[in-house]
Amino acid sequence: MKIYYEDSMPYAAEFFSELGECQVFSHKTVDSSMLSDADVLLVRSTTKVNANLLDGNSCLKFVATATAGTDHIDQEYLAKRGIPFVSAGGCNAVAVAEYVLSAMVVTANKQNWNLADKTVGIVGAGHVGTALSRVLTVLGIKHKLCDPPLTDAGDPRAFVTMNEIMQCDVITLHVPWVKAGKYQTQGMFDKQRLSQLSEQQLLINACRGEVIDNQAALELFEQGKKLNLVLDVWDNEPDIKLELIPHIALATAHIAGHTIEGKARGTEMLYLALCELLGKQADKKLSDYLPESTIGPLLVKEDQDLLQAASQLTLEVYDISQDDQAFKKQAQGPEQFRYIRKHYPIRREFSAIAVNTGNFVDSKAIYALGFLPTK
């Protein structure tokens, strides 16, 4: 069995080498002829999987993407050919939740906010929205969930309307890109809805760029409207509206989910799915390959409250403002956008970091965020 995997999948060789003959490829050079004998195709979001890529192959038995998003996969085409498809939904949920928390902490420091007084509106209660809700619950930060598809599907959680979300101090978006229909998300924040935001509110988009009308946002900024936007995702990536960047409070290159754990978890999820398809026992796990963290152990000051301690630890692990500064300096076109994503430095999740809480009264909450106790 021939397994082709994209070169940006961490630990792919380690996970898949015993399941078949492995071939690595780059999204820049892969074509239909190269994949003509592939039995298994494993990609990330940079490879477009469609008829153009696969029509030259008659033996393909499995396609999977090591990403939560599936916009790059023509699932209708795969279904017509009867080719099983799997995505790594949820692989980056923890990473994105920690990215959002960092954005909130940095904004709170800039605006002199007390996050305990703020209410967060989470739009989209799937893997990421749920992970973020869990973090905010641990920290005692008030939040509301909005997810019309899940509401209609009978999800038992308490959901609110978008009208209620629009009253929240922080609004953070975690929905798929849906171009039309009852649950359309494209242009969810159009000019009218963006105009309703006050300069005291914070809007974070770490899902899909098309959910916010970037042209409308630019026009509002140029008209003097003050908006507090955090954008990790952009319309028409990688050829984004460069003139919008200087107006954005915190700007990054679609890297919210790019922790080493998040990316490698995607590889592990595909390994487990392929083992199941082949009827083989999965005997490898992510912890076998992840390196030791170079951060920490960190120390919590006992005279802090929980939010102060969590904010300190968050920025010691991941300070979004550093990515913002680098992005605003380097992003000058599509190639630079791609380069920043491709060469994003190693970022770790809380779960890789040991923390010494001493006699801190809220130690349990710190570890509930994912941090490890010191040995």
By annotation, the residues acting in catalysis are 208, 237, 254
| Residue 107 structure tokens | 């904004």
53: nearest Cα among 72, 68, 69: 72
Task: Tell me the CB-side half-sphere exposure of residue 17, using CA atoms within 13 A.
Answer: 5
| Closest among 350, 352, 329, 351 to 339, alpha carbons compared | 329
Q: What is the 3-state secondary structure (H, E, C) of the chain?
A: CEEEEECCCCCHHHHHCCCCEEEEECCCCCCCCCCCCCCEEEECCCCCECHHHHCCCCCCCEEEECCCCCCCECHHHHHHHCCCEEECCCCCHHHHHHHHHHHHHHHHHHHCCCHHHCEEEEECCCHHHHHHHHHHHHHCCEEEEECHHHHHCCCCCCECCHHHHCCCCEEEECCCCCCCCCCCCCCCECHHHHHCCCCCCEEEECCCHHHECHHHHHHHHHCCCCCCEEECCCCCCCCCCHHHHHHCCEECCCCCCCCHHHHHHHHHHHHHHHHHHHCCCCCCCHHHCCCCCCCCCEECCCCCCHHHHHHHHHHHHCCHHHHHHHHHHHCCCHHHHHHHHHCCCCCCCHHHCEEECCCCCCHHHHHHCCCEECC
Q: Are 273 and 63 contacting, i.e. CB atoms less than 8 angstroms apart? A: no
Q: CA-CA distance, 58 to 39, in Å (whole number)? A: 9
Residue 164 tokens read as 């209620």
Instruction: Report the alpha-carbon distance of residue 182 to residue 161 in Å, rounded.
Output: 15
